[in-house]
Amino acid sequence: MNSRNLLLFGAVAGLYVLTGIGESWNLSLSILNVALLATIAALGVNMQWGYAGLFSTGVMGFTALGALSVVLITAQPNVENWQAGGSGIVLALVLGAASVAAAVVAWGLMPKGRLRALVVAAILIGGFFLFRAIFDPAVSAVEAVNPQFAGNLGGLGLPSLVAWPVGGLLAAAAAWAIGKTALGLRSDYLAIATLGIAEIIVAVIKNEDWLARGVKNVTQLPRPWPVPLEIELQKEPGFLDFVASWGWDPIFTSTILVKLLYAGLFLIVLCIIIWAFERALNSPWGRMMRAIRDNEVSAAAMGKDVTRRHLQVFILGSAVIGFAGAMAASMEGTLTPGSYQPLRFTFLIWVMVIVGGSGNNWGTVLGGLLIGWLYFAVEFLGPNAMAAVTSSLPDGWLKAHLVNSAEHMRLLTLGVILLIVLRFSPRGLIPEK
């Protein structure tokens, strides 16, 4: 941490303070919270790209898996839906997984040849039809029960803090499957495969109503442990006395307090992750990863298993992304699969890493908070700003078009920032040492 970096961090902090003074502290803290979550995901991406040079475009998918795990762990179970067909769905999923496993085992055991291909194909096709035969009726039964308010199996009703590591595990499992196939081949195959898996994960969450109500959204997910609901806080006598003694407005103070608690919680997670990542980076393992990134052939010649290390770092990074996705869903209290857009959940994170300084965790944090502020501040302030800019124009088609397109300006701006940084300062704001 030299003085230049401190200055950069100070400038970014200034942006948040200015937002707080100029607009409102609620807005500033909201932006800070989403930016902190995006920063944690960006640290995961930095591990994959900065440490190991892996280019994955599936951040959105792993985030969505994290969010899904929040629903599956913290939502209240819908007992009637479970009774209607829960066992059928579980059985079908187990059978589906078993047929894939059987196919893999058969592929390994049988000698190479046409017979093996036929047997494996037969196992998979038979498994698929068996799966559908059990799965379809069970799904219809589950979705038919109470579709306006539930129609899904619900979760386990456990606390949010349990759901976050589960989100990480779920993302890690998906990363294992995808990394196993796409790593060790050309580098851009991973990018294409992860782009695909992200789309598919979001499609599954959107369409499988029994799982998380699809586009009908699951709402009112519980808050994580220390964070109370604003309404309950406003009834708390101790809180009211405290607020009265300072002469503050109880409603305003409760919203600020809740946001501060979230910010504190996310900061703790962020600090733990940075600490662990810095330890990893400065350990023999970190040096090995950088050696592999800088020259795969020499690293392989030194006896390092490049593909295995890539798989390892890909899984670790994805787990962190899943963890961040779970925290985001807990904070929002809802799972809205329609809001998962690759721009917001994949490419924004990439811009954060590259602008901040790939390979440097502090750089990534700086980039995350800076780009996060730019992106989300525009989301909140953009339409107003555009309206102010165009206020002198006469009302009409052009003005309406410009005000509406403020949102798309973000895309363009992000792209231009990315290209400029890559061209003129490819090592980012805080370069790797």
Partner 1 sequence: MDILNALVAFLNFVFIPGLAYGAQLALGALGVTLIYGILRFSNFAHGDTMAFGTMVTILLTWAFQSVGIGLGPLPTALLALPFGIAATAAFVLGTDRVVYRFYRRQKATPTMVVIVSLGVMFVMNGIVRLIIGVDDQNFADGARFLVNPQEFRTATGLAEPLAIKTTQAVTVVTAVVVVAFLFWFLQKTRTGKSMRAFSDNEDLALLSGINPDRVVAVTWILAAGIATIAGVLYGLDKTFKPFTYFQLLLPIFAAAIVGGLGSPLGAITGGFVIAFSEVMLTNAWKKIVNHLLPQDMQVDSLLQLLSTDYKFAVSFTILIIVLLFMPTGLFKGKSL
Please tell me the distance from the alpha carbon of residue 414 to that of residue 239, in angstroms, as a whole number.
43
From 21, 185, 268, 393, residue interacting with partner 1 (rule: CB under 8 A): 185
97 binds partner 1 (CB under 8 A): no
176 binds partner 1 (CB under 8 A): no
393 binds partner 1 (CB under 8 A): no
Q: How far is the CB of 347 from partner 1 (least distance, A)?
A: 7
Please tell me the distance from the alpha carbon of residue 358 to that of residue 365, in angstroms, as a whole number.
10
Q: Residue 196 or 228: which CB sits closer to partner 1?
A: 196
Please tell me the distance from the alpha carbon of residue 306 to that of residue 297, in angstroms, as a whole number.
9
DSSP assignment of 220-277: -PPPPTTPPPHHHHHH-HHHHHHHHHHT--HHHHHHHHHHHHHHHHHHHHHHHHHHHH
* Binding-residue pattern over the window 34 to 53 for partner 1, x denoting contact by CB under 8 A: -------------------x
**Helix or strand or coil: residue 77?**
strand
From 101, 275, 412, 425, residue interacting with partner 1 (rule: CB under 8 A): 412
Please tell me the distance from the alpha carbon of residue 264 to that of residue 327, in angstroms, as a whole number.
13
- Looking from the CA of 177 toward its CB, the CA atoms found within 13 Å total 14
106 binds partner 1 (CB under 8 A): no
Q: Residue 135 or 266: which CB sits closer to partner 1?
A: 135
Is residue 194 a contact partner of residue 57, using CB atoms and an 8 Å limit?
yes
Residue 4: which residues within 8 A CB-CB, separation 6 or more?
A: none
The distance between the two most distant Cα atoms of the chain, rounded to a whole number of Å, is 82
Q: Residue 91 or 195: which CB sits closer to partner 1?
A: 195
94 binds partner 1 (CB under 8 A): no
# of chain residues touching partner 1 (CB under 8 A): 43
Q: How far is the CB of 401 from partner 1 (least distance, A)?
A: 8
CB atoms within 10 A of CB 13: 12
* Binding-residue pattern over the window 126 to 145 for partner 1, x denoting contact by CB under 8 A: --x-----------------
* Binding-residue pattern over the window 204 to 233 for partner 1, x denoting contact by CB under 8 A: x-xx--------------------------
DSSP 8-state secondary structure symbol assigned to residue 158: -
Q: How far is the CB of 181 from partner 1 (least distance, A)?
A: 5
Is residue 79 a contact partner of residue 404, using CB atoms and an 8 Å limit?
no
Is residue 256 a contact partner of residue 29, using CB atoms and an 8 Å limit?
yes
From 80-88, 200-208, 221-229, 379-387, give the range in contact with partner 1 by CB under 8 A.
200-208
Residue 418: which residues within 8 A CB-CB, separation 6 or more?
A: 350, 351, 354, 355
268 binds partner 1 (CB under 8 A): no
Please tell me the distance from the alpha carbon of residue 204 to that of residue 235, in angstroms, as a whole number.
41
Phi then psi for residue 75, to 5 deg, are -65, 155
From 418, 427, 431, 432, residue interacting with partner 1 (rule: CB under 8 A): 418
CA nearest 44: which of 263, 245, 277? Answer: 277
Q: Residue 28 or 48: which CB sits closer to partner 1?
A: 48
From 112, 114, 408, 433, residue interacting with partner 1 (rule: CB under 8 A): 408
75 binds partner 1 (CB under 8 A): no
From 354, 370, 374, 386, residue interacting with partner 1 (rule: CB under 8 A): 354
Residues that bind partner 1 in the complex, under the rule CB under 8 A:
53, 55, 57, 128, 181-182, 185-189, 191-193, 195-197, 199-200, 203-204, 206-207, 342-343, 347, 350, 354, 404-405, 408-416, 418-419, 422-423
